[in-house]
Amino acid sequence: MKAAWYSQNGEAQDVMQVGELPTPTPQAGEVLVRMAASGVNPSDVKSRRARPLTDALVVPHSDGAGVIEAVGAGVSASRVGQRVWLWNGQWQRPMGTCAEYIALSESQAVALPDGTDFAAGACMGIPGLTAMQAVILAERLAGDLRGKTVLVTGASSAVGHYITQMVTLAGGRAIGTVGSQAKAEHARAAGLQEAIFYKTESVPERVKALTQGRGAEVILDMDFSTTSRWAAEGALAAHGQVVCYGSNAPDVSLPFRPWLFQSIGVKFFLVYDLTPADRQLAVARLSDMLARNLLQHSMSARFSLDQIAQAHRTVEAGQTVGNVVVDL
């Protein structure tokens, strides 16, 4: 099979290779998927640059979509020919989705509705499930989002774009931070009611102005290193909740007294490591949204397998609005 891989850390143009690798055989409990599209996420490029290799080579990317071509022992033959999207394709294993084929547990291959194209399916594993889990946890901690103001940090990002739609579908009032007018327009098209330009205005002051001084009831957060301060400065209401899935800095100093005296709660999660119950719920709710065609999908750039280095550089540049996909 044709595949892309790297055997050492480094810049994409220096270490990414494209060539032939053996086609995997599905083992017991596995399916073999003929890939149609592979999603490229920031975690994929960070891993290529800095995560130490424990195997001779790594076929990157955790997200993808395609068609089941064969099944291993114990898997129903009725799954052959099924369109699917994948999650955790390259999590804690070397063989990811950036290849013509991948073999993985059948539970990681989720039915993809006929009305959802493969490129969109390749965005469900990390962006889609992260957004879904963030909203599920917000509802669990803060209750029904209907009528509540939810601050979405990075509202135009791949995850934020889905979160904004999901909050809106849940009846919440989505407000969010963006870095440019173009990104604001992108987020508004997904349901964002108010865009906050974090580079040129005070986020806490703007949130307070939009909420009659109360602050948002919930913050769904991609950068705790910044939000920890914003929450303490009034962006979050007393007894509000922060659901966080990322941080631009590994070490965060928390202003404890404001958090304590406002009784603020925080829940962190890693989309690769959800509990089985949470994974099942998030997959089911996301699948229902796809089946009912409720979500907008945004592709900023699409590349061929031979352009894998360019695809990685595009993600690293961080200038595109939408997801980056490799067509296979």
Q: How confident is the model at residue 224 (pLDDT cuts 50, 70, 90)?
A: very high
CATH 3.90.180.10 residue window(s) in the chain: 2-123+297-327, 126-272
CA pair distance 322, 1, nearest whole angstrom: 29
Dump pLDDT digits (tens) for 186-210. 999 999 999 999 999 999 999 999 9
Closest of 180, 156, 140 to residue 269, by C-alpha: 140
Share of the chain above pLDDT 90, in %: 97
- Is residue 292 packed enough to be buried (19+ CB in 10 Å), middle (13-18) or exposed (0-12)? exposed
The fold for domain 126-272 equals Quinone Oxidoreductase; Chain A, domain 1 (3.90.180)
Q: How confident is the model at residue 40 (pLDDT cuts 50, 70, 90)?
A: very high
When pLDDT is averaged across residues 39-68 and rounded to a whole number, the result is 96
CA pair distance 10, 310, nearest whole angstrom: 14
Which sign, positive or negative, has the C-alpha torsion 46, 52, 57, 59?
negative
Q: What is the pLDDT of residue 51?
A: 93
Neighbours of 253 (CB within 10 A): 9
CB 249 within 8 A of CB 225: yes
Confirm whether pTM is higher than 0.85. Answer: yes
The DSSP annotation for 239-300 comes to EEEEEE---SSSS----HHHHHHTT-EEEE--GGG--HHHHHHHHHHHHHHHHTT-----EE
For all residues of the chain together, what is the average pLDDT? 97
Closest of 238, 192, 247, 248 to residue 218, by C-alpha: 238
When pLDDT is averaged across residues 217-231 and rounded to a whole number, the result is 97
The fold for domain 2-123+297-327 equals Quinone Oxidoreductase; Chain A, domain 1 (3.90.180)
CA pair distance 278, 258, nearest whole angstrom: 31
Tell whether the model's pLDDT for residue 3 goes beyond 90: yes
Tell whether the model's pLDDT for residue 319 goes beyond 90: no
Q: What is the pLDDT of residue 59?
A: 98
When pLDDT is averaged across residues 92-115 and rounded to a whole number, the result is 97
CA pair distance 193, 36, nearest whole angstrom: 35
When pLDDT is averaged across residues 243-255 and rounded to a whole number, the result is 94
List CB contacts of 328: < 8 A, sequence separation 6 or more: 2, 35, 36, 37, 38, 66, 98, 99, 100, 305
Residue 10, phi then psi, degrees to nearest 5: 155, -170
Distances (CA, A) of 194 to 102, 175, 188, 190, 209: 42, 5, 8, 12, 11
Lateral strand order in the sheet of 149-152: 194-197, 173-178, 149-152, 216-221, 236-244, 265-268
Q: What is the pLDDT of residue 318?
A: 84
Tell whether the model's pLDDT for residue 90 goes beyond 90: yes
Q: Using H for helix, E for strand and C for coil, what is the string for 126-186?
A: HHHHHHHHHHHHHHHHHCCCCCCEEEECCCCCHHHHHHHHHHHHCCCEEEEEECCHHHHHH
Tell whether the model's pLDDT for residue 236 goes beyond 90: yes
Closest of 150, 155, 104, 154 to residue 125, by C-alpha: 104
CA pair distance 127, 67, nearest whole angstrom: 21
Q: What is the pLDDT of residue 320?
A: 83
The tokens for 267 are 């829940």
Distances (CA, A) of 55 to 5, 8, 51, 249, 272: 11, 10, 12, 28, 20
When pLDDT is averaged across residues 263-290 and rounded to a whole number, the result is 98
